[in-house]
Structure 1
Amino acid sequence: METHVTTPQVHTTHLAKSYRRYLQSANPCRFAHEIDEFYTAATLNALLSRGQVEQRRAAALALGMLGDRCSVEALGRAICDSDPGVRLVADDSFRAVMVRDAAPLHHQQLLRVMHLNDGAEYAAALSPAMILIDQAPMYAEAHHQLAICWHGLEDFSRAQQAYENCLWHCRFHYLAWQSLAKIRYLKGDFEKALQALDYCLAINPDLDTARMQRGQIRRRLRQSDV
């Protein structure tokens, strides 16, 4: 029996062709189906880390549709890719994977909490967020949303603990680093606030609000030294 061997070149050519069709058709279902049929998440993770620019963009897009927690680190690292297009797609995909990194029921509960937090209904979001964490303690985004609840309710000590819990489960959660910096700043710990912002910007160098935040703290430190 003749054995068919799939070479790396075939893999990357198929990925590029599917990606180009997606850019022309804007049909995410077709793209996801074509990629899911031909690639494992491990292969996409590898292409995201080591492929050419087009392959990295395609891999980042595919992982946003098909990836799971095993893709979080590859996507987190790609948010500071040398190519702006890869960075943009990897950021979107990273956040998508973080949100759905749980059972479907817990995913739906998280979306409810996020909706309440987006509407600044922090007190209403608090109880379902705490219940969700009890049910899914490894769910990093649930800890982030709980931190947002406490932050909005101005319970800064509990907010800090929740942000740190989020980062314990996912060190690439740059928004948690940014918010942790805000809490540390409010507590007067400027050096540790700057450290958190350095981590944040190392992950996502395009986050202008964090860069502005860091500049404000540095100016405050200079003024205090005068």
Structure 2
Amino acid sequence: MAIYHLHVKVIGRKSGSSAVASAAYRSGSRLRDERLDSSHDFSAKRGVVHSEVMLPENAPQAWSDRERLWNDVEAFEVRKDAQLAREVEFALPRELTQARGIELARDFVRGEFVDRGMIADLNVHWDIGEDGMPKPHAHVMLTMRQVSVNGDENGFGPKVREWNRTEMVERWRERWAELANERLAELDIDARIDHRSLEAQGIALEPQTQIGAPAKRIEIRG
């Protein structure tokens, strides 16, 4: 059964995060953090089946190197509470093959982020859940500034406030459902996802009482 999930958050220094460390973890790689003079090694992480940095047309090619990109972001953002990157995480339909899932993720990221001028660090994870079923999902770290087109050496322009708007997030949520459903239909797969809440879909669920494991064992014995 296809599951809808798309979550957006900001990676920033205020919460103690590092863009380099975050990129290393999501890509399952080892990256050198120049600002902190340390290395973040997640090369033993399993389940990363695709990893790439996707650049808009006017971005320096040097930023296709993940380590260079996020170290440059860290160097440019000088505030102690700087917002370093935006992350969009979304679930891929488990009915797709890995190749089809990666293709779908790339199409969504290209159309909604890269074509708007963001640099996107895309990593697709194909984990296996406790139920033995695949839990494919994608992590996309996005730059928050325009890529400079005036020859500035650092390559960064101002932050784009429009990318922070609630309306933009809602567009991404809706567009992901549309694109995923279009692809599932093209492949004649009988599964669909819906970005709307259960209430908006007209689905009423009765509240369930959660029983912890110890209490459940007592209930069974009784």
TM exceeds 0.5? no
Which protein has greater RCO, CA pairs closer than 8 Å, 6+ apart?
A: 2
Q: Greater strand percent: which structure?
A: 2
Question: Under a length normalisation based on structure 1, what TM-score does the superposition of the two structures give?
Answer: 0.21
Question: Under a length normalisation based on structure 2, what TM-score does the superposition of the two structures give?
Answer: 0.21
